[in-house]
Amino acid sequence: MTVTEGWPEAPAPLPAPVVDNHCHLDHRIKGGLLIPVEEALDRAAAVGVTRIVQVGCDLESSEWAVEAAREHDAVVAAVALHPNDAARMDDPVLDGALSRIDELAADPAVRAVGETGLDYFRTGPEGRPRQQRSFREHIAIATRHDRTLVIHDRDAHDDVLAVLDDTGIPDRVVMHCFSGGPEFALECLERGAFLSFAGTVTFKNAEYLREALRVTPLDRVLVETDAPFLTPEPYRGRPNASFLVPHTVRRIADVLDLDLVSLCRQIDENTSRAFGGPWASHGGQRT
C-alpha cells in the first residue's frame, strides 16, 4: 500500500486547534507503517489537529511512544500493557513487563499510563483475574508517577468501576473510546473521569453513545481517533488517522447544538487538563 492509497480526502480544517488524545501512529499493516510519522503529523496539523497522544499497548509500542514523543513536540506518550496482552502473560513475564512500564512512566515525555483496563470481549473468564491484576498495577503506577490513567473498557463496565472504587481513583482519568450509554457515563463522571469520544459516536447504530454525550458536561468531553481503527462516518471501514478527527468533532457539535469554534476551544482546554497541563518541550524537534 502506498502512503496515499485508500485514504479519504482530508476534511475542511477546524476553526480552532484540537488534540487527538488516543492514537497508534506505529500500527503496522503488511509490515509497513500506515503513514510515516512526519506526514501523519503534518496532515493532522493541516486540519487543526495540532497535538497527539501516542498510546502504547505493549512494551515495544510503549517504548516506541516514548521515543516518538522525545522527537516531536506535538506528541506525548502513554505507556501500558493492553488488557488482552496482559491476560496472555504468565505471572513472571507480567511482573517483568509491569516493572518496565513503571520505568517508562517516569520519563518526562510520558503523560499517561494506558491503555489499561478490562476487556471481556476478547478475553474469557480464565484470563480475567490476570487482567484485573494488571489493571490494579497500572493504577498504582499512574498514581505513583502522577500520570493520567487511560482506561480501555470493553464489555466490562461494572468491573472497571469496581476496581477503581477498590484501588482509589487517580487525579486524572480518561475513559478511552467511551463505549457505554448515559447511565454508565454518569457513573464515570461521578468518579471524575473525562469521556473520550471516537469515530464510533458518528455511527448510525450508536445513538446510545450520543445519549451519553448529551449527559456529559462540556468540560469533560474529549475527542480521539484510536487510529488506525474506528474511522468516523462517512468513511467507516477505511483506515483512520488523526487528520480525520474533524468529522468526529463536527458530529459532536451537531449532537450538542454547539458553535464549532467554542467546542474546539473547549476540547483543547479539556485535553490539557486531562493530561496534566500544556504540552511542554521534552526534547522533541517538532513545534
237: left (phi over 0), alpha (psi -120 to 50) or beta: left
Going by C-beta distance under 8 Å and a sequence separation of 6 or more, which residues neighbour residue 39?
3
Asked if residue 233 belongs to a known ligand binding site, the reply is no
Residue 55 C-alpha cell reads as 498510546
Rounded to the nearest 10 degrees, what angle do helices 59-71 and 91-105 cross at?
Answer: 10
Cα 202 from chain centroid? 17
CA–CA dist 79, 132 (Å, integer): 17
Rounded to the nearest 10 degrees, what angle do helices 128-145 and 91-105 cross at?
Answer: 20
Selection from 56, 84, 214 nearest residue 153 by Cα: 84
Asked if residue 22 belongs to a known ligand binding site, the reply is yes
Other beta carbons within 10 angstroms of residue 14's beta carbon come to 22
242: left (phi over 0), alpha (psi -120 to 50) or beta: alpha
C-beta of residue 131 within 8 angstroms of C-beta of residue 115:
no
Asked if residue 176 belongs to a known ligand binding site, the reply is yes
Going by C-beta distance under 8 Å and a sequence separation of 6 or more, which residues neighbour residue 200?
177, 179, 206, 209, 230
Residue 11 C-alpha cell reads as 476534511
Binding residues for a divalent metal cation: 22, 24, 115, 152, 176, 226
Binding residues: 22, 24, 115, 152, 176, 226
